[in-house]
């Protein structure tokens, strides 16, 4: 029996319907990306203006960008004299022009971070269209990314260079899929420039690519170059500029005293390491938020999941609770590899559905699972409402502090060339100067020109009584005059005379210590 060949008008009608469907899906994805960028830019700026951002790490990285834009490459004054002694983030060179923009300051960095994380959904959408051959499936995956709390929490927590590795890695994966090795190499290099450990993530993908037709040479060369770069950055560049090993190494001390012993523990005692990870509720929560909202699609692509395990192990093996959680920036390179794995799993599901008697049923069920999973994850962990507290680093969205106006009044009295030591929440607003310190974390200079403090803000303070005593010592320094005091905000300047009563500020400090559960000193 001869098969019926569709007529020309019917073929044209089918082609037009598919083209219209693809255009509609593309418009939905573009609108979702725009909504993400606008909403998270607004959230980040709202937090910052309400004195809820923190010196660690917003002030640090903003000062690095500002100094670099003025020719003082990677100069810093808070933790290390040169930022390369903390992290190797060459991408700061590309972001430095943002410091030249008028009107705003650090807000441009917050907007750039939101745009980068949001735009990562675009190469993801293109990749899913290639692999699943379905615009609807690709749009569903892109929407699941935009709605996921994973990029949202990375975006919310101030500003970090590592966040820019997500769109770079996602674009690299797209070009790798369409066998465009040259462009993939460029985006791999950009990703590796975001932070020192990203080269290991690139190398894991490169090893995966070695087993694909026509990509063996690219994979070998990229894997070797990426590993060499990360090893050079971690064990040569950082120690050189820091004057010793990176402080991040101490977070793996439970595995051993040095790198060789840590590696030996992971190889010879894998059950011990694994049991430590799977018995920790915080780490289990992180894994559940990663896999369950995606309807376990990544599991259907085990080779890609193995690649994801490399950047995932870097934060998960740390004995630092914030690094183990989803609420911070540490998992930025994991996110694109997670959705890359989901794309691989989705393409298999689509092929199975097309072979079924009713292909639309499984596809519709898959869309529903992705939508429900994203909604549940967002409801449980919403970046717009959730506040993290000790033992995690404290991050809150709002409301704004009650002394915002007083802070702006005091900050207006500062001269641009003055060195300042400021409270944690005030430092991000003062970072665009050559010398800025965060109280309690001054490393490279003492005796600043000014202290600008919020003596009622005890967030991020594990020991209120000791911190209160430290504030009192600053207030009693004889060579500093109290030139501003209002609603807990105080400005002391070296060589000035008192214009306010110090006893009133000391009382505020003792009241704050008492409120935070410790007797005043």
Report the pLDDT averaged over residues 408-427. Answer: 96
**DSSP label at residue 5:** P
Q: What is the pLDDT of residue 1?
A: 47
Q: What is the pLDDT of residue 257?
A: 83
C-alpha distances out from residue 115 to 59, 151, 334, Å: 20, 11, 18
Q: What is the pLDDT of residue 274?
A: 87
Which residue from 190, 191, 188 is spatially nearest to 207, judged by alpha carbons? 188
Checking if the pLDDT of 284 tops 90, the result is: yes
The DSSP-derived string for 252-283 is: GGGG-SSHHHHHHHHHH-HHHHHHHHHT-HHH
| 148 within 8 A of 374, measured Cβ to Cβ | yes
Checking if the pLDDT of 108 tops 50, the result is: yes
Q: What is the mean pLDDT of the chain?
A: 91
How far does Cα 209 stand from its chain's mean position? 26
Q: What is the pLDDT of residue 375?
A: 79
Kindly compute the dihedral angle of the four CA atoms of residues 375, 380, 382, 383, in this order, to the nearest 10 degrees. Answer: -130
From the CB of residue 266, how many other CB atoms can be counted at a distance below 10 Å?
A: 17
What pLDDT digit, counting tens, does each position of 474-517 carry?
A: 999 999 999 999 999 999 999 999 999 999 999 999 999 999 86
Q: How far apart are CA 191 and CA 172, in angstroms?
A: 9
Confidence grade of residue 62 (pLDDT, cut at 50, 70, 90): very high
The DSSP-derived string for 166-232 is: HHHHHHHHHHHHTT-HHHHHHHHHHHHTT-TTHHHHHHHHHHHHTTSTT-HHHHHHHHHHHHHHHHH
Q: What is the pLDDT of residue 443?
A: 66
| 242 within 8 A of 86, measured Cβ to Cβ | yes
Confidence grade of residue 7 (pLDDT, cut at 50, 70, 90): low
From the CB of residue 169, how many other CB atoms can be counted at a distance below 10 Å?
A: 30
Q: How far apart are CA 205 and CA 310, in angstroms?
A: 10
Checking if the pLDDT of 18 tops 70, the result is: no
What pLDDT digit, counting tens, does each position of 41-50 carry?
A: 999 999 999 9
Q: How far apart are CA 162 and CA 180, in angstroms?
A: 25
From 1-10, 316-325, 384-393, 408-417, the region with the lowest mean pLDDT: 1-10
| 349 within 8 A of 297, measured Cβ to Cβ | yes
From 217-221, 240-244, 352-356, 464-468, the region with the lowest mean pLDDT: 352-356
| 127 within 8 A of 174, measured Cβ to Cβ | yes
What pLDDT digit, counting tens, does each position of 337-374 carry?
A: 999 999 999 988 888 877 765 556 556 666 777 877 88
What pLDDT digit, counting tens, does each position of 141-170 carry?
A: 999 999 999 999 999 999 999 999 999 999
Q: Is 441 exposed, middle or buried (0-12, 13-18, 19+ CB in 10 A)?
A: middle
Output the six-digit token pair for 89: 């983030």
Report the pLDDT averaged over residues 404-416. Answer: 97
Which residue from 323, 327, 324, 339 is spatially nearest to 291, judged by alpha carbons? 339
Q: The dihedral of CA 235, 241, 245, 247: what is its sign?
A: negative
Which residues have CB under 8 Å from 269's CB, separation 6+? none
Q: What is the pLDDT of residue 361?
A: 58
Q: What is the pLDDT of residue 21?
A: 78
Confidence grade of residue 441 (pLDDT, cut at 50, 70, 90): confident
Q: What is the pLDDT of residue 519?
A: 43
The DSSP-derived string for 483-511 is: EEEETTEEEEEETPPP-S-HHHHHHHHHH
Q: How far apart are CA 455 and CA 469, in angstroms?
A: 11
Checking if the pLDDT of 296 tops 90, the result is: no
Q: What is the pLDDT of residue 420?
A: 96
Which residue from 446, 455, 436 is spatially nearest to 500, judged by alpha carbons? 455
Helix 334-355 / helix 198-209 crossing angle, nearest 10 deg: 30
- Give φ, ψ of 413 to 5 degrees: -85, -10
Report the pLDDT averaged over residues 230-238. Answer: 95
Checking if the pLDDT of 10 tops 70, the result is: no
From the CB of residue 382, how many other CB atoms can be counted at a distance below 10 Å?
A: 13
Which residue from 29, 35, 60 is spatially nearest to 161, judged by alpha carbons? 60
Share of the chain above pLDDT 70, in %: 93
From 87-91, 390-394, 440-444, the region with the lowest mean pLDDT: 440-444
**Between 276 and 467, whose confidence is greater?**
467
Confidence grade of residue 86 (pLDDT, cut at 50, 70, 90): very high
From the CB of residue 176, how many other CB atoms can be counted at a distance below 10 Å?
A: 26
Confidence grade of residue 234 (pLDDT, cut at 50, 70, 90): very high
**Rounded to a whole number, what is the distance in angstroms from the first to the last CA of the chain?**
97
Which residues have CB under 8 Å from 497's CB, separation 6+? 481
Place of tokens 């790798």: 176
Share of the chain above pLDDT 90, in %: 75
Q: What is the pLDDT of residue 444?
A: 62
**Between 12 and 260, whose confidence is greater?**
260
Sketch the domain layout of the chain as residue ranges.
Answer: 108-380, 404-515
Largest CA distance in the chain: 103
Report the pLDDT averaged over residues 211-235. Answer: 95
Q: Is 12 exposed, middle or buried (0-12, 13-18, 19+ CB in 10 A)?
A: exposed
């Amino acid at each position: 029996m001869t098969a019926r060949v569709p007529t020309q008008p019917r073929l044209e009608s089918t082609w037009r319907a598919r083209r219209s469907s693809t255009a509609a899906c593309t418009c939905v994805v573009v609108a979702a990306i725009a909504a993400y960028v606008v909403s998270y830019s607004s959230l980040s700026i709202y937090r910052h203006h309400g004195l809820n951002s923190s010196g660690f790490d917003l002030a640090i990285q903003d000062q690095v960008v500002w100094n670099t834009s003025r020719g003082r490459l990677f100069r810093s004054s808070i933790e290390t004299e040169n930022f390369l002694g903390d992290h190797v983030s060459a991408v700061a060179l590309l972001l430095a022009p943002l410091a030249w923009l008028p009107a705003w300051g650090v807000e441009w960095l917050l907007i750039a971070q939101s745009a980068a994380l949001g735009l990562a959904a675009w190469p993801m959408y293109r990749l899913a269209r290639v692999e699943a051959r379905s615009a609807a499936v690709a749009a569903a995956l892109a929407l699941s990314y935009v709605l996921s709390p994973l990029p949202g929490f990375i975006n919310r927590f101030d500003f970090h260079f590592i966040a820019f590795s997500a769109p770079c890695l996602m674009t690299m994966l797209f070009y790798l899929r369409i066998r465009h090795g040259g462009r993939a190499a460029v985006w791999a290099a950009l990703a590796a420039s975001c932070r020192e450990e990203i080269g290991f993530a690139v190398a894991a993908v490169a090893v995966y690519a070695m087993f694909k037709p026509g990509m063996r040479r690219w994979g070998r060369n990229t894997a070797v170059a990426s590993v060499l770069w990360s090893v050079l950055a971690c064990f040569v560049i950082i120690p050189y500029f820091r004057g010793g090993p990176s402080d991040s190494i101490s977070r793996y001390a439970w595995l051993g005293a040095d790198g060789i012993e840590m590696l030996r523990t992971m190889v010879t005692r894998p059950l011990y390491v694994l049991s430590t990870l799977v018995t920790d509720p915080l780490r289990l929560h992180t894994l559940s938020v990663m896999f369950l909202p995606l309807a376990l699609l990544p599991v259907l692509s085990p080779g890609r999941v193995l690649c994801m395990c490399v950047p995932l192990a870097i934060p998960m093996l740390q004995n630092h609770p914030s690094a183990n959680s989803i609420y911070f920036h540490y998992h930025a390179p994991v996110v694109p590899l997670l959705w890359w794995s989901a794309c691989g799993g989705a393409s298999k599901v689509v092929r199975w559905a097309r072979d079924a008697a009713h292909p639309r049923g499984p596809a519709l069920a898959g869309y529903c699972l992705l939508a429900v999973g994203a909604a549940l994850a967002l409801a449980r962990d919403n970046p717009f409402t959730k506040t993290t507290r000790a033992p995690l680093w404290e991050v809150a969205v709002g409301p704004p502090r009650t002394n915002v106006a007083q802070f702006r009044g005091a900050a207006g009295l500062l001269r641009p060339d003055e060195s300042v030591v400021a409270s944690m929440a005030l430092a991000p607003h003062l970072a665009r100067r050559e010398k800025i310190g965060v109280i309690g974390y001054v490393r490279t200079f003492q005796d600043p020109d000014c202290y600008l403090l919020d003596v009622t803000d005890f967030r991020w303070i594990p020991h209120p009584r000791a911190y209160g005593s430290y504030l009192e010592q600053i207030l009693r320094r004889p060579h500093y005059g109290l030139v501003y005091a209002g609603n807990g905000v105080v400005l002391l300047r070296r060589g000035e005379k008192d214009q306010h009563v110090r006893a009133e500020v000391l009382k505020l400090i003792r009241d704050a210590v008492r409120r935070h559960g410790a007797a005043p000193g």
